[in-house]
Structure 1
């Protein structure tokens, strides 16, 4: 056993009361929780409301130059769904966009590139999963 000389030798775990610190800490935390319940009231986890719908930007016809030309509003998608933007490009560089909500049953359409039935056009589909992530200000982060 190692003994310490001087003032440090007189200190021990028992004399510091360190073995009772966890008990004291638990009592303080319990007291704080009881006081919070008395002041705030009962906490009911069912009273916390999560959003029932994801809000997305909707526009049926949009260009980068002119903005939304037809059907600008908000659509609501149920939980697990996404906001979507279709980007239709042609070889001359003009882009047309369609923004809408996408139900989870339609998520297979979320990320694809394919040629359009009209020669010289390509369709890019992109989904995102945050509120209004497909509006013109936010879509620059996920559409090339």
Structure 2
């Protein structure tokens, strides 16, 4: 008899109905779209040349995760990002009315701070995106998020 522990034990393998499959596919598509926007937006804004190595005390250090849930933690791309002082750390919550919540955490430069504490409808019907920003090193880390996110 197989025994599962840890995260595997909490996963449900019951079949999803047509509505559940559609909702899961929409959620994955939305997470991919948001992740591409975050990653490609930074790449397109850059000059294309590799960054210089400036002193680290001139930067805000943020937690980066491209796909995260509260139950399972970071599922894709756990890392640290740096942004110039005066910028922000951000966590985007992708939610729907049935309690689905996926997060994307990253750095935001000054020009992108207009998104802070902003809720908007997503391109996928029934979902919305809520931005939370903070301004201290690693303030968007899951351990610090509840105390530091505005």
The question of a shared fold, defined as TM-score above 0.5 by the shorter chain, is answered with yes
Aligned residue for 2:57?
Answer: 51
Counterpart selection for 1:104 from 110, 117, 125: 110
Match of 2:73 among 67, 78, 81: 67
SS at match of 1:125: strand
Structure 1 or 2, whichever has the larger Rg, is 1
Contact map agreement 1:126 1:142 (CA 8 A) in 2 = no
Map residues 106-125 of structure 1 onto 2, 5 A cutoff.
Answer: 106-125=112-131
- Where does structure 2 lack aligned partners over 5 or more consecutive residues? 1-54
Count matched residues: 96
Match of 1:83 among 63, 86, 89: 89
User: Once superposed, what is the RMSD of the aligned Cα atoms?
Assistant: 1.8
User: In the TM superposition, what is the alpha-carbon distance from 1:119 to its structure 2 partner?
Assistant: 1.2
Give the 4+ runs in structure 1 shifted more than 6 A.
Answer: none
Query: TM-score scaled by structure 1?
Result: 0.62
The answer on whether the counterparts of 1:59 and 1:100 sit within 8 Å (CA) in structure 2 is yes
Query: Which segments of 5 or more consecutive residues in structure 1 lack a partner in the other structure?
Result: 1-48
1:34-85 CA-to-partner distances (Å, cap 9, x unmatched) read: xxxxxxxxxxxxxxx8821100000000001110000000000111101000
TM-score, normalised to structure 2's length?
0.60
